[in-house]
């Protein structure tokens, strides 16, 4: 099925309209109105490795163009006191970002050389017990969006290790699907170098959360690391959380088989009503994507754990970011990353979900299920939303 550029644009247009990203949104990270201390819930310091080119408008820091090699930064992000778990508060189109109301950058530092970044990375990892979490964002994500999403995940999950954002050169434009896909491919070596850098600077456990098209990049980087001389890097991997993977199912099977048996745990988060992946499937010639694949047993047979979160509420009208938008699940994910307990015990998960729902007041609405398929069993956990 060959698609012309106008045809692809026509398919992607509904996503732009649904997501409310038809233009006019500012991506400036500098010059933001700051808030009073009592208006800030927390500040998270995010270390950044990126393949993006420096933005012409320096207030945006990095653009959607592909840079020459890797660049390094640190961004301190404030979380407003009005924040609700599962939400990424941001200004509407045409509105200025306000730290009292929105996630906002309070300080940005650029590292002219990798050595300076590595020194900071080493110090952070040592302070957090050797643990690091790499977030790899998805398609249609500008630089500021990737930073703020990382901060929201860290804050809402309660993650206690060192957060590192790997931000590849997505333009943030809905119509640039092919460009973004190629940018993700270009970034494979950069992500592999980032994982090596983490190990070299003291990481004893490296967890990864990848979203959407970022899963293609992540799986390719892990594949080439595994078949190269990356045994030490692979031995440090903990959980690899693949959220709504925008990856062809056959490609994924070949990737996971080539990576082979590792000490880490691959967890695939799927949603049957993911509208973004439905469009992606059409663009790919009606080929199923991993994130909405309906044969959990086939995936589990590859040695991965499949978590179907279709029944959970989502703050995203595309149902494409439930892993971060659902207040119960993002905290459950954080407990998994912090404690190292897997998704393989139904009683423990039920107890944890019960505690989380009581803790955040999720008592109104109908019950939903999280269906977990492991290589050994299938279980269903009830969530009160």
Q: Is the pLDDT of residue 1 over 50?
A: no
Distances in Å between the Cα of 308 and the Cα atoms of 22, 312, 339, 372, 380 are 30, 9, 21, 6, 9
The CATH number linked to 147 is 3.40.50.1820
pLDDT of residue 20: 43
- Give me Rg for the CA atoms of the chain: 20
Q: Is the pLDDT of residue 9 over 90?
A: no
Average pLDDT over residues 292-310: 93
Enumerate the β-bridge partners of residue 73: 48, 110
Q: If we measure between CA atoms, which residue out of 357, 382, 364 comes closest to residue 372? A: 382
Q: Which residues of 214-252 are buried (b: 16+ CB within 10 A; e: fewer)?
A: bbbbbbbbbbbbbeeebeebbebbbbbbbbbbbbbbebb
> pLDDT grade, residue 342 (50/70/90)?
low
Q: Is the pLDDT of residue 10 over 80?
A: no
- What is the tally of structural domains in the chain? 1
State the pTM of this model.
0.91
pLDDT of residue 343: 61
Between 247 and 7, the more confident residue is 247
CB neighbours of residue 203 within 10 Å: 29
Q: If we measure between CA atoms, which residue out of 255, 183, 248 comes closest to residue 222? A: 255
Range of the domain at 15: 5-384
Question: Residue 370 carries which DSSP code?
Answer: E
* CA separation for the pair 13, 49 (Å, rounded): 31
Write phi, then psi, for 105 (nearest 5 degrees): -85, 125
Average pLDDT over residues 43-71: 97
Q: Is the pLDDT of residue 92 over 70?
A: yes
Q: Is the dihedral of CA 293, 297, 298, 299 positive or negative?
A: positive
> pLDDT grade, residue 220 (50/70/90)?
very high
> pLDDT grade, residue 36 (50/70/90)?
very high
SS3 track for 253-277:
HHHHHHHCCCCCEEEEEECCCCHHH
Q: Is the pLDDT of residue 362 over 80?
A: no
Average pLDDT taken over every residue of the chain: 89
- Strands laid side by side in the 265-270 sheet: 104-111, 62-80, 40-54, 162-167, 131-136, 205-211, 237-243, 265-270, 305-308, 367-373, 378-384
> pLDDT grade, residue 351 (50/70/90)?
low
Between 286 and 130, the more confident residue is 130
Question: For 228, what's the count of Cα atoms within 13 Å in the CB-facing half-sphere?
Answer: 14
Picking from 207-216, 256-265, 324-333, which range would have the lowest pLDDT averaged per residue?
256-265
pLDDT of residue 261: 72
* CA separation for the pair 233, 239 (Å, rounded): 13
Q: If we measure between CA atoms, which residue out of 72, 131, 197 comes closest to residue 339? A: 131
Q: Is the dihedral of CA 173, 179, 181, 182 positive or negative?
A: negative
């Amino acid at each position: 099925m060959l698609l012309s550029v106008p045809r692809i644009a026509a398919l992607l247009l509904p996503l732009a309209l649904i997501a409310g990203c038809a233009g006019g949104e500012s991506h400036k990270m500098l010059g933001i109105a700051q808030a009073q201390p009592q208006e800030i819930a927390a500040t998270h310091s995010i270390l950044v490795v990126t393949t993006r080119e420096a933005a012409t408008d320096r207030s945006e820091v990095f653009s959607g163009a592909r840079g020459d090699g890797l660049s390094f930064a640190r961004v301190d992000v404030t979380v407003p006191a009005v924040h609700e778990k599962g939400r990424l508060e941001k200004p509407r189109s045409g509105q200025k970002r306000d730290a009292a109301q929105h996630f906002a950058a309070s300080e940005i530092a650029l590292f002219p050389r990798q050595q300076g970044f590595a020194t900071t990375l080493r110090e952070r990892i040592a302070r957090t017990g050797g643990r690091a979490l790499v977030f790899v964002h998805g398609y249609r994500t500008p630089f500021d969006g990737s930073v703020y999403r990382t901060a929201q995940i860290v804050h809402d999950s309660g993650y206690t290790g060192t957060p590192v954002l790997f931000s590849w050169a997505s333009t943030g434009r809905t119509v640039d699907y092919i460009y973004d896909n190629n940018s993700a491919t270009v970034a494979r070596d950069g992500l592999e170098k980032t994982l090596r850098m983490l190990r070299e600077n003291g990481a004893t456990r490296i967890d990864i959360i990848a979203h959407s098209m970022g899963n293609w990049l992540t799986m390719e980087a892990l594949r080439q690391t595994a078949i190269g001389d990356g045994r030490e890097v692979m031995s440090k991997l903990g959980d690899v959380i693949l959220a709504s993977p925008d990856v062809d199912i056959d490609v994924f099977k070949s990737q996971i088989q080539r990576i082979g048996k590792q000490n880490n745990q691959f967890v695939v988060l799927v949603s049957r009503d993911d509208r973004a992946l439905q469009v992606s499937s059409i663009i790919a010639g009606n080929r199923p994507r991993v994130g909405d694949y309906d044969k959990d047993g086939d995936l589990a047979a590859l040695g991965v754990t499949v978590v179907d979160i279709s029944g959970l509420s989502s703050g995203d009208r595309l149902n494409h970011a439930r892993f971060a938008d659902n207040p119960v699940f993002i905290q459950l994910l954080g407990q998994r990353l912090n404690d190292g307990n897997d998704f393989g015990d139904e009683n423990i998960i039920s107890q944890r979900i019960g505690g989380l729902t009581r803790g955040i007041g999720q008592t109104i609405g109908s019950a939903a299920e999280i269906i977990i398929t492991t290589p050994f069993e299938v279980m269903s956990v009830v969530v009160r939303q």
